[in-house]
Structure 1
Amino acid sequence: MRLFLIRHGETVDNVAQLYAGSRDSELTNHGFQQATRLGRHLNVTGHRFSHVFSSHLQRAFRTAELILEAQASTVSTNDERLQVKRLPLLMEQDFGFFEGKKWYQKPPGGAKSGKEAHRDENVNTPGFVDMETKESMAERMDAFLDEHLIPLLDDRPLDDKRSVAIVSHGIILSVLWRRLLARLPPKSVTPSVQVLETSRSFQLEHLGGWSNTGYLELSLQKQPSPPPQNEVKDDSSTSLEVGLAKTDELPEEIPPRVATTRILHEWTTVIETVNGKSHLQGFKRTGGGVGSAKYDAGQKTLDTFFKRRRIS
């Protein structure tokens, strides 16, 4: 089975450099085209999705819809149209007081991150609401795994070649990956040769950020004779290094949550693609502010706009 963790297309808040979080920021024209190209790319490379999950926020949901629209264009009309499963669990980190405000740069020479410095400056402001905690995000992703993804894995036949997509947001996708990694047995996760050849050093817990419509592609293989499944304690602080180093751009570490969770003993995983962006090769933003503007389905396409009327 192939599992794709996909970030949404570019949004109005991305362009304005605002903290979006739980705000329902809309796709730009550029973001809409990014998602359209991603859908076509996944379709022509032979991926057929049996399930697509997305955040309930429209930037992720619309990206997921465009992926399915591309798939629907080549499947039999007799097949039932697959629907996106829209889940609030998959929403981005709630930035509280900072939502809708400009990104805050890291102070020069300081040990604090930009967010930490910004928080310290505003924590006593009337009406201040703090950001969602790392523990809260980890609990949400554990709930998604237990309620949606792991039951789906249990139902998979050994020869199932279909794919599953999770379309969400940059920070929460990083949390989801680390919570999934904590469920996989040690030494059962390996990077592909292509990933090793194209990536700089990293840790499995820190594969890097997600670009708009960038994706993490995983190949999960179920073993024919799984050992008995035991309930074990999850200590996600265990390092699973593959000779790579952290970068300053990565999200802050999430503290380990020790809990009784199921380890997926019967599965092995290969990391096929990290922040996949091949669908964006040669793709440029439309100038004149058009690409950065909010996408409007009622607008004419550029081809239609510049096309001359036929003279009868």
Structure 2
Amino acid sequence: MRLLLVRHGETVDNVAGVYAGVTDSALTCHGYLQAERLGAHLSKKGFRISEIFCSDLKRAYLTAEAIRQFQDPQPSPPTKLEVIREQNFGSYEGKKSITQDSNVVGGEDIVSKVESKKSLDSRANSFIDDHLLKLFYQTPDEHTVAVISHGIFLKHLWKSLLCRFPPACVSFVRKSGASRAPSIQNLGRWFNTAYMELDIKQRPISLAAIPQNSVPCEFLSNNQPNHETSSGKQSSIPVIIESKPVQRPVVLKFDLHILETNCCEHLRGLKKSRGGTSNLPYNPAQKNISTFFNKSKPAGLG
């Protein structure tokens, strides 16, 4: 099966440059156009999406619905899950990303309010165990499962998923002209509506058995704080708990092929409209200008 890990479209808090983890930030009009572009792109490339999971926050749900509307036939409505929400920034929620407080240098009070990496890893593994693993066996090779979530959480989900596969079963599919494979340790900023494309295939029975011990994930650990604002910029929010990744059962019967990382091909040529209207909150009740024309081409294309 194919697996798409997708970040939501641009939000009003992305534009404002404030921390918005569990804050239910609205998509901008531009953010919804990004999501429509992605939906049209995936449909044109022949992705047959049979299952969609999304965060229960509206920016992820509306992005998921924008993707679903371009599928023919359309899959069931997205499954909304709190477990794949963004990191909770605690008392930093809603504050400018440049906020600095000399009183919180090593501050225990602030630290106690920001969700830890351990918690993020735990949520990621719960999602994998409760929702993804069974689909490895149930989803046909030609079908796709899409997960629409948030920049920081997706990084933890990806690392947790990667740890389920023996290293010998993981490979990059290099594109022509690429000098080397991208780093799997540091994906960098995950852009709005950018996606990671993974191909998960069952191993041929004839292949030698893979050792059944858990895959050590320490090579993925990073002892430096690596938090992001809602816009993807680095911040100085402290990491609460630096812990070693939890060992989880290894997926022995499957190979993992990494086809795309942070893919934004669908956004080529898409520019914000003048006058600031593209930064306004998207209203699902509003008619898009494309609905006034008898064309199937979505707004923002061409």
Tell me if both proteins adopt one fold, taking TM over 0.5 as the criterion: yes
Structure 1 residue matching 2:262: 3-state secondary structure:
strand
Task: State the alpha-carbon separation in 1 of the partners of residues 36 and 195 from structure 2.
Answer: 14
2:147 maps to 166
Q: Secondary structure at the match of 1:82?
A: coil
Q: Which residue, out of 143, 147, 150, partners 2:133?
A: 150
Greater relative contact order (CA < 8 Å, ≥ 6 in sequence): 2
Which of 184, 187, 198 is matched with 1:207 structurally?
187
Equivalent residues in 2 for 1:281-300, closer than 5 Å = 281-300=268-287
Structure 1 residue 299, shift from structure 2 partner: 3.2
The whole-number CA distance in structure 1 between the counterparts of 2:65 and 2:166 is 33
The corresponding residue for 1:108 is none
Q: Distance in 1 between matches of 2:276 and 2:40?
A: 25
Partners of 2:198 and 2:6 in 1: CA distance: 11
Q: How does 1:3-152 map to 2 (within 5 A)?
A: 3-71=3-71, 74-75=72-73, 81-104=75-98, 119-120=104-105, 130-152=113-135
Does the 8 A contact of 1:195 with 1:274 survive in 2? no
Deviation at 1:235, TM superposition (A): 2.8
The TM-score with structure 2 as length reference comes to 0.82
Give me the whole-angstrom Cα distance separating, in 2, the residues matched to 1:38 and 1:117. 42
Classify 1:297/1:231 alpha carbon distance in 2 versus 1 (closer, same or farther; 3 Å).
same
Q: How far has the Cα of 1:298 moved from its partner?
A: 3.3
SS at match of 2:260: strand
Matched to 1:140, the amino acid is: R
Cα distance in 1 between the residues matched to 2:97 and 2:86: 16
Shift of 1:40: 0.5
Deviation for aligned residue 1:297: 2.6
Residue 218 of structure 2: SS of its match in structure 1? coil
SS at match of 1:217: strand
CA contact (8 A) 1:51 1:164 kept: yes
Which structure 2 residues correspond to residues 228-267 of structure 1 after superposition, within 5 A?
Answer: 232-238=213-219, 255-259=243-247, 261-267=248-254
- Within 2, Cα distance between the matches of 1:185 and 1:195? 26
Q: CA RMSD in A?
A: 3.1
Alignment gaps of 5+ in structure 1: 106-113, 241-245, 306-312
Q: Is the 8 A contact 1:145 1:180 kept in 2?
A: yes
TM-score, length basis structure 1: 0.79
Picking from 154, 159, 171, the partner of 1:178 is 159
Larger Rg: 1
Q: In 1, are the aligned partners of 2:51 and 2:75 still within 8 Å (CA)? A: no
Which residue of 171, 184, 190 corresponds with 1:190? Answer: 171
Residue 277 of structure 1 corresponds to which residue in structure 2?
264
Paired-residue identity, %: 36
- Preserved contact between residue 159 and residue 220 of structure 2 (Cα < 8 Å): no
Which structure 1 residue ranges, 4+ long, deviate > 6 Å from structure 2? Answer: 226-231, 248-254
